[in-house]
Structure 1
Amino acid sequence: MTCPWCDGVCQETDLAPLLHPDLAWLWNQLADCADRRGDPELTSGSVGLKMPSAPEERSAAVGLLGGRPLSAGQVRRVDLVRLGDVLARRHPRLTPGVAAAHGARRRLAQRARSRAEQIDATAGLRRSLTAAISGLPEHLPGEMDPDAVWTRLHRAGWISRLIADDDREKRITLAAGVLARLPRPPARVDRRVLIPGDPHALDEGTVLAGLVLAVAGVAGAGRRTREAWSLLGVDCDNLLGGLLVLGVRPLSWSVPGDAVLTLPPRELLRVQWQAPPKPGAWAFVTENPSVMTAAAELAATGDGPGTDGTAHLICTAGTPSDIETTAISLLTAVGWRVAVRADFDPSGLAHVRALLNATPDAAPWRMDTAAYTDHCVTASAGALEVAVTDTPWDPDLASAMTRRGAPAYEEDQLSELIGDLCSGEPGAC
């Protein structure tokens, strides 16, 4: 059986006389010295040892340390070469460090050993990464210089994660292979075909998917996974997700006025909208499906506004992607006016900012200070901090939300929102 404290010397010699309890003080002090030095053998130089108070402990060490008689509390400078020569009489491979490791019952200088192993592993990882990314296509969006790739992986915590991964070489090779197969713009590819024989290898949440996006330089910065892949020309299940629409139709589509459609990313990438039923009609944009449900029930009664008898509503069902905000922005090109809103919470404010940035002519829809204070039913001072830059369309809204410290939700405004859909005009823009 392999010894946990040395490399087998103990199996070739009798260490029992050296491990007498009266010598424990000697080995413990030498073990501490080995840890400080990062030297598990202790075969050179000298070390200061403080002599114990018990005479039997000092007496036990006389044969090993030699020299003048040992005094209690004295600090004796011990020549490690001489001590090594004394120990070598028992076995030529027996060193002060090996004896101390057995006396202290632990491996010595583990921190230094781990540090050296870490340095070696880091250097090996860098060589592997540099070789793997050499020759990758020039059309990748991120800078693919080895130093740049290494820096962004380090900042994102990937270096330590890879070093601890026994499959790191395989993962790096696979990630580089995925990047090498990415199409040149404007061509696109389905994510599920990038790893032959394993359509789920790059599913969201897998280590390989995260590594590919990190190496390519498109991960992070608040960007959703689908958006990051899209920057690489990769479509992720582009038949799932997208926008819910009611009374706002793609060009040449013919469906009942009260039908709620889901327009997945595949359709939104090429969408052309029908013109509004009358010039300047409003298309309303909301975050929550509960508003869409209520609007669809309204449309089913035929009590909606305008000549088509339906509400005109788009629902992002959460955070809008770049594909979705771009599709919404195209409504203005065919004559729609656009009103946007979301919940009064940090993510909802971010949704509204994204929509307003994509469609500068859009108007906030009941997203002002008055609407918030009217519908915020709780207060928790200090629990919510909103900066003025979070609500550029109404700076006072940020102050009000910070003072109240609580969110407000679209469901709390449902009656007013449905009233606006009925009238065809957004209130409190």
Structure 2
Amino acid sequence: MGGRADGDVERLRRLLGGEQLAWLVDRARRRLAQGQPLTGVVTLPKASHEQRRAAERLLGRRAGRGYSLSVPLDEVDRILRASGVAPEGLAAAVVLLTGPIVDEAAVAAAQAAAWAAARAPLYALTERRPELSGWLAWLDGTGMLRRLAGDPDTAARLVEQLAAVLDALPSGGLALGRLAATGAGDAHALDDGRPLATLALAAVRVLAGAEPTGDASAAGRRAAWAAVGVHLDELSSTVLCLGLPGGAATPTGRMLAAAHEAAEPCVLTLRQVTGRGGERADLGVGAGLVFVCENPIVLASAADELGRDTPPLVCAGGQPSAAVLGLLELLADQGASFAYHGDFDWGGLRIAGGLRERVDWRPWRYDAEAYLAALATVTGGPLTGRPVDAAWDPALRPALERHGIRVDEELVLPVLLADLAAGYPEPEADVPAD
């Protein structure tokens, strides 16, 4: 039995396994790998004389004229079966001559299913967090997950960590390393350049109201994380303030008191704001009103012109840092209320809206009426960027869109300083609920 099998293999190799018919075997093998049937005709353009003679010996007839050579696969299958050289037909002969065949279509389908399973938690995440749908569309559109992970198993682990990190945001002032350790089991998983950091930072920008790709500088990354309450460390995150009376009970309170006495602005780190061992800084404001501006020039001008008469004033510094948010939330916990002013542009409205999600504030000349009043007295620049709503005044966005002019905070400094001198708006002033 074994000798007969060996003889059949040798006959098959003589009939079909030669160099001149290698193209035919290769075509058949590719069809099998792609899940296609071995039927119909395969054609070899510009066939050589030797290739044509080999096909004629296989078929037992002339193989046509011209430059191309066409061979019916059904006929080859019939010949192999009838001759006994390959009783199971052409497909079995190809495997015997070239080895086992991988079903490429099945492999591709399995890979697609594995990638879909790896991505599935992200779709569940966006169902819980619809604000991340734009980020997920960017992720799928760029193929970033596949590029960073390389294979479905790695992607599945990365997605699991990513979902854990994003589910923890926004936070109340969490260190980046602690977020990484909690979400990914690796305190450095969110370090710049790591795959998880790349994916998470894009989502963080979207949560902050920006595009998935943004300012890639160290300051830009720090600002993006700060917008969702995450700080890179307790010392690099700072907040600029003026006129907070402070107190004698804590080191931070004494720092504020000394700065207040000297009528100087004070820079606090997040460490000083949050305190150590649960110690809460005595800020000295109590149930008073705290003014909040977007740009440092307002605070610096108030220090120069009003000195110790400046009411409590905190600078958001553009996109609020973790220290800014921490100080405002601490003030709110101690009973303070807030009045906010920022730039009249889309970035300013976006910053104000994000801040309003963390602490409640009333507009400080920061509504449609104030915008129109500013346009009557100052010359602003062209308004650019993506429009955003103003939840505190639905009329503000249409006014900005209609006029197309931005008004930076610096342009209305005299009015803001007059308000600070007069303590406007009064703490008891009420703002209608949204």
For Structure 1 versus Structure 2, the TM-score category normalised by the shorter chain is 0.5 to 0.7
1:240 aligns with 2:257: no
Structure 1 residues 426 and 189, CA gap change in structure 2 (3 angstroms): closer
Q: 1:190 to 1:207 in 2, by over 3 A?
A: closer
Matched, 1:403 2:402: yes
The one-letter code of the counterpart of 2:111 is Q
Name the amino acid aligned to 1:418: L
Residue 56 of structure 2 is aligned with which of 53, 62, 69?
62
Task: Work out whether 1:304 is the aligned partner of 2:298.
Answer: no
Q: Distance in 1 between matches of 2:207 and 2:420?
A: 35
Indicate the residue corresponding to 2:340 in structure 1.
340
Secondary structure, in 3 states, of the residue corresponding to 2:207? coil
* Distance in 1, Cα, partners of 2:96 & 2:371: 73
Per the TM alignment, residue 268 of structure 1 is displaced from its structure 2 partner at its CA by 3.4
CA distance in 2, matches of 1:49, 1:114: 25
Per-residue deviation, residues 153-183 of structure 1 (Å, max 9, x unmatched):
995667535640699399769959x99xx9x
Separation in structure 1 between the aligned mates of residue 355 and residue 115 of structure 2, nearest angstrom: 43
Contact 1:51 / 1:70 at 8 angstroms: preserved in 2? no
What is residue 369 of structure 1 aligned with on the other side?
Answer: 371
Q: Distance in 1 between matches of 2:112 and 2:46?
A: 42
**Amino acid of the structure 1 residue aligned with 2:239:** L
Which runs of no fewer than 5 residues in structure 2 stay unpaired? 1-15, 127-134, 210-223, 275-279
Which residue matches 1:386? 387
Q: Does 1:222 align with 2:208?
A: yes
Identity score, percent: 25
Alpha-carbon contact 1:50-1:74 (below 8 Å) kept: yes
The one-letter amino acid paired with 1:70 is G
Q: Distance in 1 between matches of 2:153 and 2:33?
A: 33
Name the amino acid aligned to 1:262. Answer: V
CA distance in 1, matches of 2:281, 2:59: 88
| Equivalent-residue separation in structure 2 for 1:401 and 1:169 (angstroms) | 43
Once residues 173 and 351 of structure 2 are traced to their aligned partners in structure 1, the CA distance between those partners, rounded to angstroms, is: 29
Q: Call closer, same or farther: CA 1:203–1:121 in 2, change over 3 Å.
A: same
Letter in 2 for 1:398: R
Q: Does the Cα contact within 8 Å between 1:369 and 1:396 map onto a contact in 2?
A: no
* Structure-2 residue corresponding to 1:413: 412
Q: Map Cα deviations across residues 49-95 of structure 1 (whole Å, 9 max, x no partner).
A: 46879997994543455556537799864226468899x99xx9984
The size of the alignment, in residue pairs, is: 351
Distance 1:187 1:410 in 2: 27
Alignment check: 8 A CA contact 1:366 1:426 kept: no
Q: 1-side partners of 2:123 and 2:97: how far apart? A: 39
Look up the equivalent residue of 2:73 and give its one-letter code.
V
Provide Cα deviations, 1:187-217, integer angstroms capped at 9, x if missing partner. 988826949xx86554355324567899xx9
Q: Give the partner amino acid of 2:154.
A: R
Q: Paired residue for 2:297?
A: 290
The normalised TM-score by structure 2 is 0.57
What TM-score does the superposition give when structure 1 sets the normalisation length?
A: 0.58
Distance 1:55 1:329, change over 3 A: closer
Relative distance call for 1:118 and 1:407 in structure 2 (3 A) is: farther
For structure 1, the 5+ residue unaligned runs are: 1-12, 100-107, 130-146
